[in-house]
Amino acid sequence: MFGSELAFSPEVVLAMWAAGVAGSGAAVAHWRIVGSGYLWLVAGTVALIGGAAWYFDPGVLAAAAALVGAGAAFVARNSRAATIALGLSSLSFLVGAAAGSPVPAITGSAALGGIMGEMLLGHWFLVSPRMPRWPLRALAVIGGAAVALDWLVHFAPGLPPATSAVPLIASVALAATSVVLMAAVWFALGYPSYPGVMAATGLSYLAVLTSLGSVILIRALAAGVSPL
């Protein structure tokens, strides 16, 4: 299993990210709301992020997860097969990211995957402007709720006594900003014309950065490492 050394090591964060993107892609494939082009985009993204996880900690599980995720591109015209391929990739990355504790891996994957998935799907609205908006809202809710839950999962047991105030405040700010951005995405999607989706997608770009920072920083603090 890769990434068992530290809960905030690069391979673990990247594995959670890849698991989340693959999972959101599997959900979209199951919903059958887009064509094969979107699934090619997701498969390529999973291969890129998952390949980076393998680079930091080469192993069979990471390689297999990345290859299965990339393989979804070859079965993208069959939504059921694409759902299975992306789902298996997500589960494989999730197992690798668990590092003995599945709950933080699940919350981290849901946070990064929900927000990244919303951003990718919103961007795809350019290609499929008649696509329904409820999947975008569903992913925004999942991502926003998971960011808050991920922070609480690490904070509730108590942080090390030596934790300084500055990084703790920064972690709260990153998590809160991510939640606020996802709430803004929800309301932006209520705007009937296309500019509403454009605004939601732009907000999601920012949320990808803040959620990634939140996921990394709270894990560092929980492990007793202060990066600030």
Residues near 214 by Cβ (< 8 Å), separated by ≥ 6?
111, 147, 150, 151, 171, 174, 175, 178
> Where are the chain's structural domains?
10-222
Q: Residue 222: pLDDT band by 50, 70, 90 thresholds? A: confident
CB of 73 within 8 A of CB of 44? Answer: yes
Write the pLDDT tens digit of every residue in 70-106: 999 999 999 999 999 999 999 999 998 886 678 999 9
Q: Which CATH class is domain 10-222?
A: mainly alpha
Write the pLDDT tens digit of every residue in 123-170: 888 788 888 999 999 999 999 999 999 999 988 877 777 677 888 899
Q: How far apart are CA 194 and CA 73, in angstroms?
A: 28
pTM: 0.91
Please give the structure tokens belonging to residue 148.
Answer: 């808050």
Secondary-structure percent of the chain, ordered helix, strand, coil, rounded to 5: 80, 0, 20
Q: Dihedral sign, CA of 65, 62, 103, 111?
A: negative
Across the chain, mean pLDDT equals 89
